[in-house]
Amino acid sequence: MTTASLVVSTYNWKEALALCLRSIAAQRVLPLEVVVADDGSREDTGAMIREMARDFPVPLIHAWQEDAGFRLARARNLGIAASSGDYVIFLDGDLILHPDFVADHLALIRPGIFLQGGRLNATPEESKRLLAGGRPNFSPFMDGTFKRKHALRLPWLAKRKSRTAEGGQMMGCNMGIWRTDLDRVNGFDDDYEGWGREDDDISARLKHAGLTRRPIRFAGLAIHLWHNTRWPDGIPPTEVLPNDRFFNKVLAEKTVRCERGLDAHVARARAAAAA
Protein backbone atom coordinates (compact mmCIF):
# COMPACT_ATOMS: atom_id res chain seq x y z
CA MET A 1 0.00 0.00 0.00
CA THR A 2 1.39 3.38 -1.02
CA THR A 3 2.08 5.81 1.81
CA ALA A 4 1.85 9.56 1.16
CA SER A 5 3.72 12.36 2.88
CA LEU A 6 2.44 15.92 2.53
CA VAL A 7 5.07 18.68 2.36
CA VAL A 8 3.35 22.02 2.98
CA SER A 9 5.30 25.21 2.20
CA THR A 10 4.69 28.28 4.34
CA TYR A 11 6.02 31.70 5.22
CA ASN A 12 4.49 34.02 7.83
CA TRP A 13 0.79 33.38 7.19
CA LYS A 14 -0.24 31.16 10.06
CA GLU A 15 -3.96 31.89 9.61
CA ALA A 16 -3.94 30.39 6.11
CA LEU A 17 -1.69 27.53 7.22
CA ALA A 18 -4.12 26.66 10.01
CA LEU A 19 -6.95 26.32 7.47
CA CYS A 20 -4.75 24.18 5.24
CA LEU A 21 -3.81 21.88 8.13
CA ARG A 22 -7.42 21.55 9.27
CA SER A 23 -8.41 20.51 5.76
CA ILE A 24 -5.66 17.88 5.85
CA ALA A 25 -6.88 16.59 9.22
CA ALA A 26 -10.35 16.17 7.65
CA GLN A 27 -9.15 14.00 4.75
CA ARG A 28 -11.10 10.80 4.17
CA VAL A 29 -7.77 9.07 3.48
CA LEU A 30 -5.12 10.47 5.77
CA PRO A 31 -1.49 10.85 4.73
CA LEU A 32 1.27 9.07 6.61
CA GLU A 33 2.50 12.43 7.93
CA VAL A 34 2.52 16.15 7.28
CA VAL A 35 5.74 18.16 7.11
CA VAL A 36 5.51 21.95 7.17
CA ALA A 37 8.41 23.27 5.07
CA ASP A 38 8.90 26.69 6.61
CA ASP A 39 11.02 29.28 4.80
CA GLY A 40 11.79 31.28 7.96
CA SER A 41 8.45 32.21 9.53
CA ARG A 42 8.26 33.98 12.89
CA GLU A 43 7.91 32.02 16.12
CA ASP A 44 4.12 32.41 16.17
CA THR A 45 3.89 29.97 13.25
CA GLY A 46 5.94 27.40 15.14
CA ALA A 47 3.80 27.85 18.24
CA MET A 48 0.63 27.29 16.21
CA ILE A 49 2.06 24.13 14.64
CA ARG A 50 3.08 22.72 18.02
CA GLU A 51 -0.40 23.41 19.37
CA MET A 52 -2.10 21.69 16.43
CA ALA A 53 0.33 18.75 16.60
CA ARG A 54 -1.01 17.76 20.02
CA ASP A 55 -4.19 16.24 18.62
CA PHE A 56 -3.42 16.08 14.89
CA PRO A 57 -4.47 12.69 13.45
CA VAL A 58 -1.01 12.00 11.94
CA PRO A 59 2.50 13.20 12.85
CA LEU A 60 2.85 16.94 12.17
CA ILE A 61 6.48 17.92 11.68
CA HIS A 62 7.89 21.44 11.48
CA ALA A 63 10.96 21.76 9.20
CA TRP A 64 12.15 25.36 9.63
CA GLN A 65 15.05 27.29 8.15
CA GLU A 66 16.35 30.76 8.89
CA ASP A 67 14.77 33.64 6.98
CA ALA A 68 17.48 34.54 4.46
CA GLY A 69 15.24 35.60 1.62
CA PHE A 70 13.08 33.48 -0.68
CA ARG A 71 14.53 29.95 -0.51
CA LEU A 72 11.53 27.78 -1.33
CA ALA A 73 13.56 25.09 -3.09
CA ARG A 74 15.74 24.56 -0.01
CA ALA A 75 12.73 24.61 2.33
CA ARG A 76 11.06 21.90 0.29
CA ASN A 77 14.21 19.80 0.42
CA LEU A 78 14.17 20.09 4.21
CA GLY A 79 10.58 18.91 4.11
CA ILE A 80 11.40 15.93 1.91
CA ALA A 81 14.35 15.01 4.13
CA ALA A 82 12.03 14.94 7.16
CA SER A 83 9.45 12.75 5.39
CA SER A 84 9.24 8.97 5.08
CA GLY A 85 6.38 8.23 2.65
CA ASP A 86 6.60 6.45 -0.70
CA TYR A 87 4.89 9.35 -2.46
CA VAL A 88 5.35 13.05 -1.67
CA ILE A 89 2.60 15.58 -2.32
CA PHE A 90 3.71 19.21 -2.36
CA LEU A 91 1.29 21.91 -1.25
CA ASP A 92 1.37 25.59 -0.50
CA GLY A 93 0.11 26.56 2.93
CA ASP A 94 -2.56 28.84 1.48
CA LEU A 95 -4.64 25.96 0.07
CA ILE A 96 -7.80 24.43 1.48
CA LEU A 97 -8.12 20.82 0.34
CA HIS A 98 -11.19 18.91 -0.76
CA PRO A 99 -11.79 15.98 1.64
CA ASP A 100 -10.80 13.51 -1.11
CA PHE A 101 -7.63 15.35 -2.12
CA VAL A 102 -5.16 12.77 -0.80
CA ALA A 103 -7.33 9.86 -1.96
CA ASP A 104 -7.42 11.33 -5.46
CA HIS A 105 -3.63 11.63 -5.64
CA LEU A 106 -3.18 8.05 -4.48
CA ALA A 107 -5.76 6.78 -6.97
CA LEU A 108 -4.04 8.46 -9.91
CA ILE A 109 -0.32 8.07 -9.28
CA ARG A 110 1.49 5.16 -10.94
CA PRO A 111 5.08 4.28 -11.85
CA GLY A 112 6.77 6.38 -14.51
CA ILE A 113 4.81 9.58 -13.96
CA PHE A 114 4.51 12.54 -11.63
CA LEU A 115 1.29 14.46 -11.11
CA GLN A 116 0.51 18.14 -11.57
CA GLY A 117 -2.72 19.48 -10.13
CA GLY A 118 -4.31 22.89 -10.13
CA ARG A 119 -6.17 25.20 -7.78
CA LEU A 120 -9.36 27.20 -7.57
CA ASN A 121 -8.42 30.83 -7.02
CA ALA A 122 -10.78 32.41 -4.49
CA THR A 123 -11.63 36.10 -4.75
CA PRO A 124 -10.47 38.46 -1.97
CA GLU A 125 -14.02 38.49 -0.60
CA GLU A 126 -14.30 34.69 -0.62
CA SER A 127 -10.88 34.35 0.97
CA LYS A 128 -11.90 36.72 3.75
CA ARG A 129 -15.01 34.62 4.36
CA LEU A 130 -12.98 31.42 4.53
CA LEU A 131 -10.38 32.92 6.86
CA ALA A 132 -13.24 34.00 9.12
CA GLY A 133 -14.36 30.37 9.42
CA GLY A 134 -16.70 30.01 6.44
CA ARG A 135 -17.27 26.60 4.92
CA PRO A 136 -15.39 25.88 1.66
CA ASN A 137 -17.53 25.53 -1.45
CA PHE A 138 -15.92 23.16 -3.95
CA SER A 139 -18.18 23.81 -6.91
CA PRO A 140 -18.25 25.66 -10.24
CA PHE A 141 -20.32 28.31 -8.47
CA MET A 142 -17.60 29.16 -5.97
CA ASP A 143 -16.69 32.86 -5.82
CA GLY A 144 -13.36 32.81 -7.65
CA THR A 145 -11.42 33.11 -10.88
CA PHE A 146 -10.77 29.76 -12.57
CA LYS A 147 -12.11 27.51 -15.31
CA ARG A 148 -15.45 26.44 -13.88
CA LYS A 149 -15.17 22.89 -15.17
CA HIS A 150 -12.06 22.42 -13.04
CA ALA A 151 -14.19 22.67 -9.90
CA LEU A 152 -15.98 19.44 -10.81
CA ARG A 153 -14.83 16.22 -9.15
CA LEU A 154 -15.35 13.36 -11.62
CA PRO A 155 -13.00 10.48 -10.66
CA TRP A 156 -13.65 8.45 -13.82
CA LEU A 157 -12.69 11.41 -16.02
CA ALA A 158 -9.73 12.26 -13.80
CA LYS A 159 -8.39 8.74 -14.31
CA ARG A 160 -8.69 9.06 -18.08
CA LYS A 161 -6.97 12.46 -18.11
CA SER A 162 -4.11 11.22 -15.94
CA ARG A 163 -3.41 8.44 -18.47
CA THR A 164 -3.72 10.32 -21.74
CA ALA A 165 -3.26 14.08 -21.26
CA GLU A 166 0.04 15.93 -21.00
CA GLY A 167 1.38 18.10 -18.22
CA GLY A 168 -0.58 21.20 -17.47
CA GLN A 169 0.74 24.48 -16.07
CA MET A 170 3.70 23.72 -13.81
CA MET A 171 2.98 24.84 -10.23
CA GLY A 172 4.47 23.36 -7.08
CA CYS A 173 1.36 24.18 -5.06
CA ASN A 174 -0.29 20.84 -5.99
CA MET A 175 2.26 18.36 -7.24
CA GLY A 176 2.99 14.71 -6.45
CA ILE A 177 6.28 12.84 -7.00
CA TRP A 178 7.47 9.38 -5.97
CA ARG A 179 10.17 9.59 -3.31
CA THR A 180 12.43 7.31 -5.33
CA ASP A 181 12.20 9.75 -8.24
CA LEU A 182 12.97 12.69 -5.94
CA ASP A 183 16.08 10.85 -4.78
CA ARG A 184 17.00 10.11 -8.37
CA VAL A 185 17.03 13.78 -9.40
CA ASN A 186 18.33 14.94 -5.96
CA GLY A 187 15.17 16.86 -5.14
CA PHE A 188 14.89 20.58 -5.69
CA ASP A 189 17.95 22.64 -6.57
CA ASP A 190 19.15 24.75 -3.63
CA ASP A 191 20.77 27.17 -6.10
CA TYR A 192 17.33 28.61 -6.83
CA GLU A 193 16.98 31.59 -4.52
CA GLY A 194 14.55 34.41 -5.16
CA TRP A 195 11.15 33.94 -6.73
CA GLY A 196 10.52 31.56 -9.58
CA ARG A 197 11.58 28.60 -11.75
CA GLU A 198 12.33 26.05 -9.00
CA ASP A 199 9.20 24.13 -10.03
CA ASP A 200 10.02 24.29 -13.74
CA ASP A 201 13.52 23.07 -12.94
CA ILE A 202 12.51 19.89 -11.11
CA SER A 203 9.85 19.16 -13.72
CA ALA A 204 12.45 19.40 -16.49
CA ARG A 205 14.91 17.17 -14.66
CA LEU A 206 12.24 14.57 -13.97
CA LYS A 207 11.39 14.56 -17.68
CA HIS A 208 15.09 14.20 -18.53
CA ALA A 209 15.08 11.16 -16.23
CA GLY A 210 12.36 9.59 -18.40
CA LEU A 211 9.26 10.46 -16.39
CA THR A 212 6.04 11.90 -17.81
CA ARG A 213 4.14 14.75 -16.18
CA ARG A 214 0.43 13.94 -16.05
CA PRO A 215 -2.33 16.34 -15.01
CA ILE A 216 -4.82 16.00 -12.20
CA ARG A 217 -8.05 17.33 -13.63
CA PHE A 218 -11.53 16.75 -12.18
CA ALA A 219 -9.92 15.51 -8.94
CA GLY A 220 -7.44 16.73 -6.32
CA LEU A 221 -9.42 19.93 -5.79
CA ALA A 222 -7.91 22.73 -3.70
CA ILE A 223 -9.03 26.30 -3.03
CA HIS A 224 -6.29 28.93 -3.15
CA LEU A 225 -6.72 31.82 -0.74
CA TRP A 226 -6.22 35.20 -2.38
CA HIS A 227 -3.07 37.23 -1.77
CA ASN A 228 -0.94 39.59 -3.77
CA THR A 229 1.11 37.64 -6.30
CA ARG A 230 2.90 38.34 -9.55
CA TRP A 231 0.96 35.78 -11.56
CA PRO A 232 -1.85 33.74 -10.01
CA ASP A 233 -1.60 30.87 -12.48
CA GLY A 234 2.12 30.42 -13.02
CA ILE A 235 4.94 32.27 -14.74
CA PRO A 236 4.19 33.41 -18.31
CA PRO A 237 6.52 31.58 -20.73
CA THR A 238 7.94 34.85 -22.05
CA GLU A 239 8.87 36.22 -18.62
CA VAL A 240 12.60 36.53 -17.86
CA LEU A 241 13.65 35.88 -14.25
CA PRO A 242 17.07 35.88 -12.52
CA ASN A 243 16.86 32.12 -11.97
CA ASP A 244 16.60 31.56 -15.71
CA ARG A 245 20.40 31.34 -15.79
CA PHE A 246 20.13 28.03 -13.92
CA PHE A 247 17.03 26.80 -15.70
CA ASN A 248 18.35 27.46 -19.20
CA LYS A 249 21.48 25.49 -18.36
CA VAL A 250 19.36 22.54 -17.18
CA LEU A 251 17.42 22.62 -20.46
CA ALA A 252 20.51 22.91 -22.64
CA GLU A 253 22.42 20.12 -20.88
CA LYS A 254 19.38 17.92 -20.21
CA THR A 255 20.42 17.70 -16.58
CA VAL A 256 18.84 14.98 -14.44
CA ARG A 257 20.52 15.36 -11.06
CA CYS A 258 21.28 18.73 -9.47
CA GLU A 259 24.48 19.18 -7.46
CA ARG A 260 23.12 21.14 -4.48
CA GLY A 261 19.98 19.31 -3.55
CA LEU A 262 18.22 16.80 -1.36
CA ASP A 263 21.09 14.44 -0.50
CA ALA A 264 22.91 16.94 1.73
CA HIS A 265 19.75 17.58 3.77
CA VAL A 266 19.06 13.84 4.12
CA ALA A 267 22.62 13.28 5.35
CA ARG A 268 22.31 16.05 7.95
CA ALA A 269 18.94 14.72 9.12
CA ARG A 270 20.38 11.22 9.56
CA ALA A 271 23.41 12.55 11.40
CA ALA A 272 21.18 14.56 13.74
CA ALA A 273 18.98 11.53 14.41
CA ALA A 274 22.04 9.39 15.22
CA ALA A 275 23.60 11.97 17.56
**Predicted pLDDT of residue 235:** 62
For the entire predicted model, the pTM comes to 0.94
**Predicted pLDDT of residue 169:** 73
108: exposed, middle or buried (Cβ count in 10 Å: 0-12, 13-18, 19+): buried
**Predicted pLDDT of residue 166:** 78
9 contact partners, CB below 8 Å, separation of at least 6: 37, 38, 39, 72, 75, 76, 79, 90, 91, 92, 93, 172
**Predicted pLDDT of residue 273:** 83
**Predicted pLDDT of residue 230:** 58
pLDDT digits (tens, 9 = 90+) for 141-156: 999 988 889 899 999 9
Distance between CA 121 and CA 140 in Å, rounded? 12
**Predicted pLDDT of residue 240:** 75
Q: What is the rounded radius of gyration, in angstroms, for the C-alpha atoms of the chain? A: 18
**Predicted pLDDT of residue 195:** 84
**Predicted pLDDT of residue 234:** 61
pLDDT digits (tens, 9 = 90+) for 215-263: 999 999 999 999 876 555 566 666 778 899 999 999 999 999 999 999 9
pLDDT per 10-residue tile (average), the chain, 275 residues: 96 98 98 98 98 98 96 98 98 98 98 95 96 95 89 94 80 93 98 91 97 95 86 63 92 97 94 84
